[in-house]
Structure 1
């Protein structure tokens, strides 16, 4: 497919052809509403253990249920985005999410809470899938997802820094009230999205992968995304517990996570600035190297400085790699449906991490968990490099 054909194809699919960061920011907020519980997963897991007396495995189950539900919702979105108008669909989904978040404040039983959060996840996953399908058809998906990561890490930094301090005073209900409030804000912000875009970016679309891309490129990109999210979230969901296990002060842990999350937005900012200007392979090589070094650094978490640096390094690379992987996936399918499928795969990875980690930590074996995360991230790097090389080569040839 030559450049002129690609432009015609993009126009037919409703791709927005102009970079508008404020528009990217609006869609980032819409996506974050269905995703924010993942950004504050460590605070949620810790809050359930601290305020409600849940065991590690029980708290991990609640978090995993929420994300597995989101995975199901994202998969459903793959099939419905062609048949719904995104704005009315999001309105209905956001209202349901707010209701379930408020209901969650009244539940104290692990099994029931896991079931309710699973339902919330299905609805939230559908909302994110719908938003992703529109974001993938914007002019620069790499930058659009970069803005998304900036917002998520920025708000996530606030969450992990302050929520653990508020849970002892207000109980676990504060966690779900914050989620409901953010969804309400997203609902209001949806009114600022131009009506013209709402018409041009309807989800009544067709699918198609540009000629020249092999199916294995798609599979490698999705595998890299799954493994990267699983390897990171396995450790991130229990990072507060890791700090306490290493005998760090609780106040320092919260501050370290908050600052690391905020500084971590630098990775996504780099994506916004760079885009695909230097291809994908070389930036991903550097990012994965730092990811592996930073994750291994958690083996020395008893040293406060090492704990802080490891959190900062992995936060930067997390916010850097994810937009590139979603940009690669979006590049493979201008219709946006593959990006929605990427959202499903991403959430499967994010859900699998805490579930496996919770089982491993029955004996508080944090060293084993860290080495497992390193191994999974290394496999993700191999898949990402192979896919990025193929995409870079084909883009140069066109």
Structure 2
């Protein structure tokens, strides 16, 4: 299918499939997702990490939030470095080296108990992890269906994240904060093994990388800017609440046991959003599904104002988890279709991590007086602005891309 004569041209990448790409295999997407997840799994269990640093090491809200933010800001820098490297390195040996270093940094974090040194260590961890994730993103962007590939990524992250937020907070009082870093190290070790199971076909690069980059139109660049802005705001708004969701529940006098169970089950149910992306692909376009998802996101986030009610707290977590895992794959899919080389998707990883880091940092400052209603309101504003940008970008791409 080609563009209509009166439609504004975006770029050949939007309507054409890459000439050399990995086949549409779910097991391949799962392996790539595992490797990518290892690079920033701390994001998926951020609430457990922040709470563990507070309860296990006696950090303040601001200190714990800063450690988490440093980890993700480091990943943002790493992702930006990856943007410059992905066309110049062989992904398999590069990933093996980066993940090996990542494993050492996780194990090294076990011996640190002061906020300053731990912040520095986690910033370095984020830098290495961000580079690793950026390299994997460039491979995922060149698969047959990037939306489904990134959907598998979110499915795995939410599935493992559910286990993390359900069980890790209950283990911290007994084993201390070190259990958090041991969990991260274990996943990294699994990813190192997974690297060698990924077929060489995934190494293929489109021969037209340079040509695609050169002929990207002004409209395509503007569309990419909208998608990148939407990704930043969406991640920042969601992570601002997610990083402190355990503290939010306790603020509204919910029991710690209930909070852990609610977050675990909500995260697992939330994986259904990524499952829908894998099932649907782009057969219904992106505009309408993302519009519904953003309306549910705003409603679910507003529900946290009534977190004193256990059912409302649980439903709000479920709703926002489903839409979180649903929207992000589509945003990365849009970026992948705008640039077949995978470089734009890697840049999306940078903006995503920048948003994920900015959320906890801003939240830690807003919660100086435990003003959770203010935090919820700020998150709603960020998500609403994100919705405007992503829907504008989705509308442009939907006008030209065939439904798959």
- TM value normalised by structure 1: 0.95
Q: What's the counterpart of residue 145 of structure 2?
A: 140
Looking at structure 2, the residues matched to 77 and 396 of structure 1 have their Cα atoms a distance apart, in angstroms, of 30
Flag structure 1 segments of 5+ consecutive residues without an equivalent: none
Deviation of 1:11 (Å):
4.3
Looking at structure 2, the residues matched to 50 and 337 of structure 1 have their Cα atoms a distance apart, in angstroms, of 40
Q: Is the 8 A contact 1:43 1:164 kept in 2?
A: yes
Q: Is the 8 A contact 1:66 1:121 kept in 2?
A: yes
| Selected match of 2:49 from 44, 49, 60 | 44
The Cα offsets for residues 129-173 of structure 1, whole Å up to 9 and x where unpaired, read as 000000000000000000000000000000000000000010000
Looking at structure 1, the residues matched to 393 and 286 of structure 2 have their Cα atoms a distance apart, in angstroms, of 9
Deviation of 1:338 (Å):
0.1
Q: Does 1:129 align with 2:134?
A: yes
SS at match of 1:68: helix
Q: Is the 8 A contact 2:79 2:347 kept in 1?
A: yes
Q: Does 1:358 align with 2:364?
A: yes
Q: Is the 8 A contact 2:81 2:131 kept in 1?
A: yes
Deviation of 1:196 (Å):
3.4
Q: Is the 8 A contact 1:68 1:347 kept in 2?
A: yes
Q: Does 1:225 align with 2:231?
A: yes
Q: Does 1:304 align with 2:302?
A: no
Deviation of 1:394 (Å):
2.6
Q: Is the 8 A contact 2:143 2:202 kept in 1?
A: no
Q: What's the counterpart of residue 9 of structure 2?
A: none
Q: Does 1:78 align with 2:83?
A: yes
CA distance change for structure 1 residues 361 and 19 in 2, over 3 Å: closer, same or farther? Answer: same
Q: Is the 8 A contact 2:29 2:152 kept in 1?
A: yes
The Cα offsets for residues 59-115 of structure 1, whole Å up to 9 and x where unpaired, read as 000000000000000000000111110000000001100000001010011011001
Moved more, 209-218 or 333-342: 209-218
| Selected match of 1:286 from 286, 292, 295 | 292
Tell me how many residue pairs correspond in the alignment: 393
Q: What's the counterpart of residue 196 of structure 2?
A: 191
Q: Give the 5 Å matches for 1:200-349.
A: 200-201=204-205, 205-206=209-210, 208=213, 210=216, 213-349=219-355
The Cα offsets for residues 277-332 of structure 1, whole Å up to 9 and x where unpaired, read as 11111001100000000000000000000000000000000000000111111111
Q: What's the counterpart of residue 6 of structure 2?
A: none
| Selected match of 2:394 from 388, 395, 398 | 388
SS at match of 1:368: helix
Q: Is the 8 A contact 1:82 1:204 kept in 2?
A: no
Looking at structure 2, the residues matched to 7 and 345 of structure 1 have their Cα atoms a distance apart, in angstroms, of 21
Q: Is the 8 A contact 2:72 2:126 kept in 1?
A: yes
Deviation of 1:190 (Å):
1.1
Q: What's the counterpart of residue 104 of structure 1?
A: 109
SS at match of 1:82: coil
| Selected match of 1:21 from 15, 22, 26 | 26
Flag structure 2 segments of 5+ consecutive residues without an equivalent: 4-11
Looking at structure 1, the residues matched to 379 and 13 of structure 2 have their Cα atoms a distance apart, in angstroms, of 39
| Selected match of 2:36 from 26, 31, 37 | 31
The Cα offsets for residues 10-32 of structure 1, whole Å up to 9 and x where unpaired, read as 545x322x310000000000100
| Selected match of 1:156 from 161, 180, 194 | 161
Looking at structure 1, the residues matched to 321 and 43 of structure 2 have their Cα atoms a distance apart, in angstroms, of 14
- TM value normalised by structure 2: 0.94
CA distance change for structure 1 residues 101 and 202 in 2, over 3 Å: closer, same or farther? Answer: farther
Q: What's the counterpart of residue 117 of structure 1?
A: 122
CA distance change for structure 1 residues 27 and 356 in 2, over 3 Å: closer, same or farther? Answer: same
Deviation of 1:56 (Å):
0.1
